[in-house]
Structure 1
Amino acid sequence: MIKVAIIGSGGISLPHIEAYLQFPEHCRLAALCDVYPDKARQRAQQYHLHVDIYDNYKKLVERPDIDLVSICTPPYTHAQIAIDFLNAGKHVLVEKPMASSLAECDAMNEAAFRNKKVLSVISQNRFRQSVMKVKGVLEANLIGPVVHAQVDSLWWRGSSYYDVWWRGTWEKEGGGCTLNHAVHHIDLFLWLKGMPSEVVAVMSNVAHHNAEVEDISIAICLYPDGSLAQITSSVVHHGEEQQLVFQGQYARVSIPWQLCAYKARENGFPARDFELERKIRQTYNELPDLQYEGHIGQIYDVLLAVDGQKDVLVNGCQGRRTLEMITAIYQAASTGRPVKLPLSADSPFYTREGILAQAKYFNTK
């Protein structure tokens, strides 16, 4: 029986609690921790949990019966908490974004490797039926090489959203919509298309004067094969449409699921390729359904990995890769210059201190 502790009892802790409660044969919630312990007690009462309550995670670090920790605290705290628990021999599942900088990601991954413990980063949208099936279609190569990808992570938030003291700051939140809203779409994009070799970007703050950070960014990515991708991250879009579109040489597929295939007429103009569409649709429909989706799916994956039954699907290295892409967007948008990938320790944005010194500040918080 895996004993679990959850650090942080804010809103994001709810899907963790609910997911762990789905698997009583695998795990038991043993502790909740929050700097405001009354919040943790309220969560325990809300879910009728018989757990110990802590006001400081360091009191939990040396508790020998805790096997797995979910970290649901603000992003700037993730790295130290994760490293402390990994060094104490605990497995760690950390909410997105993984950390505030690539330097912190590297320190977290080093601790996981050295202590031979699972480190996973929440990427719950990978655990969706449509996402897994589109991945299967792309791997079947029926659409041909992807020549263009489009990522639209479009959200809307009012100014009061940034009234929370830590939001909208480079120091505490680590960035704006590119990091904290588009992170899931960027993770999916990299998982499905891979890392580009170069990125250019612009960002702005057009509607949130109580935030230091961007509320919209647009990035263009170049791949070694010449293919392109564009990523729009926003909290100023009414309608909140979100999609990932993959234009292959022979057909187009997307999340949410859409399909279109063309073939050329004699004059080069398009005609629908219904036969290819049929094959792609058949492949999509025949791919197996997931047993669990979202946070429940990812936490089940982590529990199996902790039990030694499989490798975790989303490890710390993949979490770092997502932050690397976001960091490259921030570096390109702040400096006005293209950024080559991969990023290493010589990047001016590699450390949290480097980001704080060189990121573009739009307003005073």
Structure 2
Amino acid sequence: MLKVAIIGAGAISTAHITAYLAFPKRCEIVAVVDMYAEKAQKRINEYGLEGARAFTDYHELLDQNIDLVSVCTPPYTHAPITCDFLHEGTHVLVEKPMASSLQEADMMMEAAQESGKLLSVVAQNRFTTPMMKLKDVLDSKLMGPIVHVQVDSFWWRGHNYYDLWWRGTWEKEGGGCTLNHAVHHIDAMLWMMGPPVELQAMMANTAHDNAEVEDISMAMLRFHEGALGMITSSVVHHGEEQQLIFQGKEARVSAPWKVVASTARTNGFPEPNPDLEQQIQKLVEELPDVIHVGHAGQVENVLNAIETGSPLLVDGKSGRDTLELIVGIYKSASTGGKVTFPLEAEDAFYTRKGIMQNAVHFYEKKTAVENFEDVDITLGRKLES
């Protein structure tokens, strides 16, 4: 039985707690940590965690032989907490974004390597049936080479969303919608496409004058094989429509699921290719559904890796690759220039201090609310097949 601790008792912690409770014979939550003791105890009471204790300082757990921790704290704290537990011999599942800078991400990966313990970064959208099937379709090469990818990560958050004390600042949140919302879709795109070689981006703050960071960004990408891409990240889109579209030379597929295949008439104009559409659809229908979805699926993957040595689907490198693309968007949008990858340690945007000094500050954050009412949060629209 693996001993698990939850570090941070905010809204996202409920997804982690529920995920671990799906595997009662394999793990037990023994501690919940939060700077506000009453929040930690509330989670324990709410979920009936009879063997768990509430703590206000995670350092108290470093010598308690905890097997696995979930880090559910604000982004600027991810690196020190993760490194401390890894060096103490504890596996870590850290919420997105992995860190607030590439320097911190590299520190986390180095700690994992030195300790020999596992580091996984939350990307729960991979662990859904639509995403798994979409990945398999792309891997089948039935679509031919990918020529264009479109990521629409559309969310909506009210003005008071950025009143929370750590949100809306480059120092503590590390960025706006691109880092903290589109990170899910950017991770999925990189998982399926691999990294781009260059990008050009723009960003703005159109509706949240209580935040330093962006509430919308757009980036144009070029990939190694010549494909182009477009990422739009937003918290100003009513309806929160979200989609990933992959255009292949022979067909188009997307999440939410849609398949369209075309062939050329003698004059080059399109006509349907139902045979290829049916072939792709047949592949999708024959693929198995995911049993444990979202955070539970990722927790299962981490438990399997600890118990059997099987590979992590989302490791530290995956988390860093996603962060590097996002930092590239911030660099391009702030400087007006084209960004090429990789971003080296000498880059002005490599450290959190460098980002704070060089990224565009749209507004001064004037409001700092300690806590919101404990209400449910939304984790995005499901990209159903």
Q: TM-score, normalised by structure 1?
A: 0.99
| Structure 1: distance between partners of 2:68 and 2:306 | 8
State the AA in 2 paired with 1:198.
Answer: E
| Structure 2: distance between partners of 1:235 and 1:185 | 14
CA displacement, residues 186-231 of structure 1 (integer Å, 9 cap, x when unaligned): 0001001110100100000111111110000000001122210000
Q: Which residue is equivalent to 1:55?
A: 56
CA displacement, residues 66-104 of structure 1 (integer Å, 9 cap, x when unaligned): 100000001110000000000000000000000010000
Q: Which residue is equivalent to 1:37?
A: 37
| Structure 1: distance between partners of 2:224 and 2:138 | 19
Q: Which residue is equivalent to 1:331?
A: 331
State the AA in 2 paired with 1:170.
Answer: W
State the AA in 2 paired with 1:326.
Answer: I
| Structure 2: distance between partners of 1:72 and 1:155 | 21
State the AA in 1 paired with 2:110.
Answer: E
- SS of equivalent to 1:86: helix
Q: Which residue is equivalent to 1:298?
A: 298
Shift of the alpha carbon at 1:287?
Answer: 1.3
Q: Which residue is equivalent to 2:370?
A: none
Q: Which residue is equivalent to 1:212?
A: 212
- SS of equivalent to 1:170: coil
Q: Which residue is equivalent to 2:345?
A: 345
| Structure 2: distance between partners of 1:135 and 1:353 | 36
Shift of the alpha carbon at 1:20?
Answer: 0.5
Q: Which residue is equivalent to 1:194?
A: 194
CA displacement, residues 24-48 of structure 1 (integer Å, 9 cap, x when unaligned): 1110111111110111111111011
Work out whether 1:76 is the aligned partner of 2:76: yes
Shift of the alpha carbon at 1:3?
Answer: 0.4
330-339 vs 309-318, greater mean Cα deviation: 309-318
State the AA in 1 paired with 2:53.
Answer: D
- SS of equivalent to 2:308: coil
Shift of the alpha carbon at 1:322?
Answer: 0.4
CA displacement, residues 117-145 of structure 1 (integer Å, 9 cap, x when unaligned): 00000000000101000110101000000
- SS of equivalent to 1:210: coil
Q: Unmatched 5+ residue regions in structure 2?
A: 366-385
CA displacement, residues 233-289 of structure 1 (integer Å, 9 cap, x when unaligned): 001111111000000000000011111001001111110100000000011111122
- SS of equivalent to 1:320: helix
- SS of equivalent to 1:131: helix
| Structure 2: distance between partners of 1:200 and 1:162 | 27
Q: Unmatched 5+ residue regions in structure 1?
A: none
State the AA in 2 paired with 1:164.
Answer: L
Q: Which residue is equivalent to 2:126?
A: 126
Q: Which residue is equivalent to 2:176?
A: 176
Shift of the alpha carbon at 1:308?
Answer: 2.6
Shift of the alpha carbon at 1:309?
Answer: 4.0
Shift of the alpha carbon at 1:160?
Answer: 0.9
Percent sequence identity over matched residues? 57
Where do residues 1-365 of structure 1 align in structure 2 (5 Å cutoff)? 1-50=1-50, 51-64=52-65, 66-365=66-365
Shift of the alpha carbon at 1:312?
Answer: 1.2
Shift of the alpha carbon at 1:159?
Answer: 0.4
44-53 vs 240-249, greater mean Cα deviation: 44-53
| Structure 1: distance between partners of 2:206 and 2:336 | 18
| Structure 1: distance between partners of 2:156 and 2:295 | 23
| Structure 2: distance between partners of 1:310 and 1:119 | 13
Shift of the alpha carbon at 1:292?
Answer: 0.9
CA displacement, residues 162-208 of structure 1 (integer Å, 9 cap, x when unaligned): 11111111111100000011000000010011101001000001111
Shift of the alpha carbon at 1:21?
Answer: 0.6
Shift of the alpha carbon at 1:357?
Answer: 0.5
| Structure 1: distance between partners of 2:312 and 2:320 | 15
- SS of equivalent to 2:196: coil
| Structure 2: distance between partners of 1:155 and 1:55 | 32
